[in-house]
Amino acid sequence: MLCHARVAAAQDTFSVTSPELAPGKVVGRELLFGESDCKGGNRSPQLSWRGAPAQTRSFAVTIFDPEAPGRGWWHWAVAGIPPSVTHLPANASASGALRKIGAVEARNDWDTDGYGGPCPPPGKPHRYVVTVYALNSDDLRLRQGTPALMFDHEIRATAIASAQLTFTVGR
């Protein structure tokens, strides 16, 4: 697998980083989807963010592939992350760490709840956009298993800032 990463931060210095998705670093098999041809570990990446607006009441995180056929592909959407949390450990999705802090995860486009790693078709590499949103609400009334597209709608409706990291995976 090959990977290239790029970090974009809003002008107010809100930024997101990941040691596993650093520029020029190859994405490890542990982050790839666990089924299909990729046979990865399906472990969500470690993420850290800083510089969120003072009025942030919660955070949300999404991973989206805009180059997948059709409307793109949702790999992860999680909301309800408390404003005191600025770091998600590796494997936060499957380990139960998100449930412990009261966060909820969407149903991804692999049709499973939680993180579903990248597994692009052979050929042209795909871009994956990791977005951390600072929200002005701590109650989006989202439930575990709601489709990620609905999470995205609710997240964007209450977002006051966002930070992105883009990485590329090909095979």
DSSP 34-46: SSTTT----PPPP
- The whole-number pLDDT of residue 22 equals 81
Contact 171, 120 (CB under 8 A): yes
pTM: 0.91
Segment among 2-6, 101-105, 165-169 with least mean pLDDT: 2-6
Q: Which CATH number is 5-169 given?
A: 3.90.280.10
Tokens representing 134? Answer: 């600072």
What is the pLDDT of the chain when averaged over all its residues?
91
Percent of the chain with pLDDT strictly greater than 70: 93
Asked if the model's pLDDT at residue 9 lies above 80, the reply is no
